[in-house]
Amino acid sequence: MNLYIALLRGINVSGQKLIKMVDLKQMFEQMGFGKVQTYIQSGNVLFESEESEAALRLKIEQRIEEVFGFVVTVVIRTIEQLEHIAKHCPFVANPSSQIEKVYIALLSEKPSEDKIAKLLLCTSEIDEFQLSSSKLEVYILCRQSVRKSIFTNNFLEKKLGVAATTRNWQTMSKLTMLGKALVEEGL
Domain shared by 161 and 115, yes or no = yes
Domain shared by 93 and 43, yes or no = no
pLDDT-derived band at 136, boundaries 50, 70, 90:
very high
Calculate mean pLDDT across residues 76-91. 94
Domain shared by 16 and 52, yes or no = yes
Domain shared by 96 and 25, yes or no = no
Q: Residue 171's closest CA among 17, 7, 25?
A: 7
Domain shared by 86 and 74, yes or no = no
pLDDT-derived band at 84, boundaries 50, 70, 90:
very high
Domain shared by 92 and 142, yes or no = yes
Q: Mark which of 45, 78, 111 sits at the end of a domain.
A: 78
What total of structural domains would you count in the chain? 2
In this predicted structure, what is the pLDDT of residue 152? 92
pLDDT-derived band at 28, boundaries 50, 70, 90:
very high
Query: What region, left, alpha or beta, does residue 77 occupy, with left being phi > 0 and alpha being psi -120 to 50 degrees?
Result: beta
Sign of CA dihedral 58, 169, 133, 144: positive
Calpha distance 78→23 (Å, rounded): 23
Domain shared by 99 and 148, yes or no = yes
| Structural domain of 11 | 2-78
Residue 72 lies in a domain: yes
